[in-house]
Amino acid sequence: MKVRMPKMDFTQVPIFWAPNREFAQSYNAFSTVPAHIEPYLVKVMIAAKKALDPKHTALHKEMETFIKQEVQHCKMHLAYNEHLVKSGYEVMLPLEATYKADYERFLKEKSLRFNIAYSEGFEAMGCTAAEVFFEELDEFLEGADPRAADLWRWHLAEEFEHRETCWRLYKTLYGSGPFAWAYRIYGLVCAMKHIGGHTRKVAAAMIAQDRQGMTPEELQASEARLAAYRGKVKKATLKRLLQVLSPFYNPARRQPSPGMAELLARY
């Protein structure tokens, strides 16, 4: 696990960077998540480091690398999102403001335990998303602009790489008993509902903008493309997320997808 600082320029990336425009636009909408969740994760980690006994030196070190990786992810997605807004998608902005305010509220009002459980929920979703991207989406990524595709490949491969950090932190602070397990699942469900709700709204707003002026035939084709992509991702995600529900879940047992190591070696 190490910090990488890729140089990426998104200014010339087409909005519809993959042949399935609704697939591309859905990932464009997902890009608003790291812009806000990752600064939150960094703050949660900083607070958690204060609560974590200094004797856990390896975990402290791992958390430092985790923080640095998330900061790099956030920077790249902010640049990408700026490109989206400049390309005419101001419709994202009010939705992002609400989402950002939620994290400020979580930090102010929720317990450290909640924030770590939520963070671990997100991390479990993140490494699942990484497996799905690397293993299941070839049909959507064929012919895609590599600048946008590689933003996701790099980010998700690092999400997979640091998949154990939050889980280990949660276990170290709160143990592995039945209550700790139930609360970890509660954190996962909260993260899925919150992040899923946000991304659905952003994607719906962006895709609705794209559909303005479409003929009935074009609209039908757009709906079919969106349904094809969503159906594939839903099935692939649910299958992988089930393991996270187990009291014996251990992200260390998840094996890197083919292509992840080669991708990371490039940066």
Are the C-beta atoms of 33 and 41 separated by less than 8 Å? no
Spell out the alpha helix ranges (H) of 17-111. Answer: 21-30, 32-51, 57-86, 92-109
Number of residues that bind Fe ion (CB under 5 A): 3
**Residue 23 identity (one-letter amino acid):** F
Per-position DSSP letters for 125-139, written without gaps between them = HHHHHHHHHHHH-HH
> Could you say which DSSP state residue 242 is in?
G
How near is the Cβ of 93 to Fe ion at its closest, in Å?
22
Using CA atoms, how far residue 200 sits from 65, 168, 206, 226, in Å, is 31, 30, 10, 12
How near is the Cβ of 41 to Fe ion at its closest, in Å?
6
Distance of alpha carbon 97 from alpha carbon 79, whole angstroms: 17
The one segment of 21-29, 128-136, 155-163, 226-234 that binds Fe ion by CB under 5 A: 155-163
Contact letters (x/-) for Fe ion, 239-258, by CB under 5 A? --------------------
Which residue, 22 or 134, has its beta carbon nearer to Fe ion?
Answer: 134
Which residue, 120 or 159, has its beta carbon nearer to Fe ion?
Answer: 159
H or E element that contains 7: none
Q: Is 153 in the site for Fe ion (CB under 5 A)?
A: no
Q: Which of 73, 83, 184, 198 binds Fe ion (CB under 5 A)?
A: 73
Touching Fe ion, residues 52-71 (CB under 5 A): 70
How near is the Cβ of 197 to Fe ion at its closest, in Å?
20
Residue number with the smallest Cβ distance to Fe ion? 73
- Give the position of tokens 């757009």: 222
Touching Fe ion, residues 197-216 (CB under 5 A): none
Which residue, 157 or 206, has its beta carbon nearer to Fe ion?
Answer: 157
Are the C-beta atoms of 151 and 13 separated by less than 8 Å? no
The answer for residues whose C-beta is within 8 angstroms of residue 147's C-beta and 6 or more apart is: 8, 9, 10, 12, 13, 17
Distance of alpha carbon 187 from alpha carbon 44, whole angstroms: 14
Which residue, 70 or 136, has its beta carbon nearer to Fe ion?
Answer: 70
How near is the Cβ of 196 to Fe ion at its closest, in Å?
17
The one segment of 2-10, 19-27, 110-118, 159-167 that binds Fe ion by CB under 5 A: 159-167
Which residue, 124 or 233, has its beta carbon nearer to Fe ion?
Answer: 124
Q: State the residues that interact with Fe ion by CB under 5 A.
A: 70, 73, 159
